[in-house]
Amino acid sequence: MKILVCISHVPDTTSKINFVNNDTEFDTNGVQYVINPNDEFGLTKAVILKEQTGAQLTVVNVGGADAEATLRKALAIGADEAIRINANPTDGLFVAKQLANVVKQGGYDLIIAGTESIDYNGGMVPGMLAGLLGYNFVNACIGLEINGSEATAVREIDGGKETSTAALPLIIAGKKGLVEEKDLRIPNMRGIMTARTKALNLVEPTGDAPATQAVKFEKPAAKSAVKLVNADNIDELVSLLHNEAKVI
């Protein structure tokens, strides 16, 4: 079995976000990048499946040279090889088209992506990828077992969970719950040393033009100052909630 895990290279959630060039570009200065958390759950699941079945595990990213550190971390966690598609991930459809080309050439049986990345939160790439390839697709996947050429997947639905079976090839959009948080893999020293010798292949993008262009970014408005109300003054509290906050 051949497994492909899609890795997004995203800013750490503790990073301070700023924009430059008249708020048209994200300021990368001083920003620490990490593996997208949803992708991290998928990567750990893929490593477990590799250990169980002897599968070949590849990770892929659409991005610039700065993403190679993130791919090396994925190699240290347990991937066998990495692919970097040398393009700026401008929008979901563009990324899906680049990934579809890699999947077609690689003949992968199972493709694991995160439900969404924590930077743009688009939540569209896995579904678009499945649509472009005509593969079976399970969204919001929180459980996965592989038995030969068939997969059993559990996904979240409104008010519950749904279990379904599907034949490989299959694309899943994984999230927290695909593995337990305590089971997430982190690179050890042996993995870090081994990752240096594993292949990191550079692939040039297809000729597809980006479908969208960011015009301008805007930060949320700063939070207003907190107004304290004496615990005994219920009338003032009700008045403020009604007239100022307008929540009642």
pLDDT in tens, the chain (248 residues): 999 999 999 999 898 889 999 999 999 998 999 999 999 999 999 999 999 999 999 999 999 999 999 999 999 999 999 999 999 998 999 999 999 999 999 999 999 999 999 998 899 999 999 999 999 999 999 999 999 999 999 999 999 999 999 999 999 999 999 999 999 999 999 999 999 999 999 999 998 888 888 899 998 888 878 889 998 999 999 999 999 888 88
Running DSSP on this structure, what letter comes out for residue 40?
Answer: H
Identify the bridge partners of residue 113 per DSSP, sorted by sequence position: 173
Continuous segment of H or E residues that includes residue 156? strand 150-157
CATH code at 2-214:
3.40.50.620
